[in-house]
Structure 1
Amino acid sequence: MPAIAVVVVLCAVLVNAFVVQVFWIPSASMEDTLLEGDRVLVGKLGDDYGRQDVVVFSGVFGPDDKDFIKRVIAVGGDTVECCDARGRLMVNGRPLTEPYIQPGNRPSATPFRAVVPPGRLWVMGDHRDDSADSRYHQRLDGDGTVPVDKVVGRAFMIIWPPSRVGGL
């Protein structure tokens, strides 16, 4: 029996380290998609992140051990800017449709324009009025973008609380 317990624990550790990990949502920056206190599963396999993916990353906007969760708005090579005459974000000159933005929020209260370097991501919270995201870190190395190698993985499912269980 002790050998089985060791194997089970070892498998759990390996899955957590390399395949999937649970993350706790510490703030309101992704409301209404993710609420403060939600727990999400984050897949760690692959590094091909695309626009509108919800990703966890660390060591970019704060201490190396602090995790952040945001939505990918633009990827390497894209030009992202705010805003067009109708108040929409633009990526490569095309307006984004963003049904996930917190009701009552504008795509951005602050105008900006950025070219995302290769191997980096422009990220923003869904609760734009309460998210310290790429817009607010443009003075850092990378002009507020997140290096793909700092991404832990893609969030794909809410697992807690039970009333909110479901895919993203």
Structure 2
Amino acid sequence: MGEAARGTGGRGRLGNILSGLAVAIGFALFLGGFVWGALVYQPYTVPTDSMMPTVRPGDRVLAERIDGGEVRRGDVVIFTDADWSNAPMVKRVVGIGGDTVRCCDQDGRLTVNGKELDEPYVDDVKADGSGRRSGLASDTPFEVTVPQGKLFLLGDRRAASLDSRAHLQDAGQGMVDRSAVTARVDARAWPSPAMLDRPRTYAGLPGGTSSPGPLALQVYAALAGAVLVVAGSAYGPVARRFGRARREPTDVR
């Protein structure tokens, strides 16, 4: 066997080893990303239009499993409270323990501890079917102080949301225990996949806003794994084809 053949064989064995390693790492990343995601996130189908335009009825979202102590203002959370419904609900946290939440100031805006909030996520279309905008953060005026360990929650479509305002006359004044929260929505998965923005609205208040969960990293890991699996699997057929092409005699005239 000539030196060229031995060199070609050595390169082929090395290529096979590397391609096998790429496939193994790819499978590990691909499956690891999915398993990690399944452990951290829960899927949830939005049942109503109370959170439009952030999420719409029938949207499939991915919500990070969290403890109630991790909740921050501005989070879109999934919770279950028997006084509201026996089914899980999705709303936005606008007040936490110690906050005084009021609506509305002279500009029609919500205030938290006297700080006027700019809420770009709010749909303020009137509920009368006219399609006109009310210009108000809420058609229902209110002022509440949130006890420690409690949350005050509103829907983004304020004219169509049954939220903390609908329970103001209850004993708990519409507050929900932090422990009632099971997850925080990070992204829409279907029909239009997108990460949910963390609103800067609450960034200037004590505690700030929450950080995005690891969903993006999980997706990148799965995609990188898929690329490695495809590339590693394609090495063998491609190498054999090029090898045959080099070995075929050239027709010299």
C-alpha offsets along residues 128-159 of structure 1, whole Å, 9 cap, x if unaligned? 00000001111234210110000011100100
CA distance in 2, matches of 1:61, 1:15: 31
Q: Does 1:59 align with 2:89?
A: no
CA distance in 2, matches of 1:63, 1:85: 34
CA distance in 1, matches of 2:169, 2:115: 25
Residue 20 of structure 1: how far off its partner (Å)? 1.6
State the partner residue of 1:160: 190
Q: Does 1:49 align with 2:71?
A: yes
CA distance in 2, matches of 1:134, 1:28: 16
Q: Does 1:75 align with 2:96?
A: yes
The letter for the 1-side match of 2:80 is S
The letter for the 2-side match of 1:77 is G
Task: Identify the match of residue 116 of structure 1 among 142, 146, 149.
Answer: 146
Residues 58, 67 of structure 1: 8 Å contact kept? yes
Q: RMSD across aligned C-alpha pairs, in angstroms?
A: 2.0
State the partner residue of 2:202: none
Residues 60, 150 of structure 1: 8 Å contact kept? no
State the partner residue of 1:96: 117
Residue 60 of structure 1: how far off its partner (Å)? 4.1
CA distance in 2, matches of 1:62, 1:96: 26
CA distance in 2, matches of 1:60, 1:83: 29
Unaligned runs of 5+ in 2: 1-30, 125-132, 197-253
Specify whether residues 32 and 61 from structure 1 end up closer, same or farther in structure 2 by C-alpha distance, changes over 3 A only.
farther
Unaligned runs of 5+ in 1: 1-7
Which structure would you say has the larger Rg?
Answer: 2
CA distance in 1, matches of 2:145, 2:176: 13
Higher strand share: 1
CA distance in 1, matches of 2:148, 2:41: 26
Structure 1 length-normalised TM:
0.84
CA distance in 2, matches of 1:157, 1:15: 12
Q: What percentage of residue pairs aligned between the two structures are identical?
A: 40
Task: Identify the match of residue 161 of structure 2 among 131, 136, 143.
Answer: 131
Q: How many residues align?
A: 154
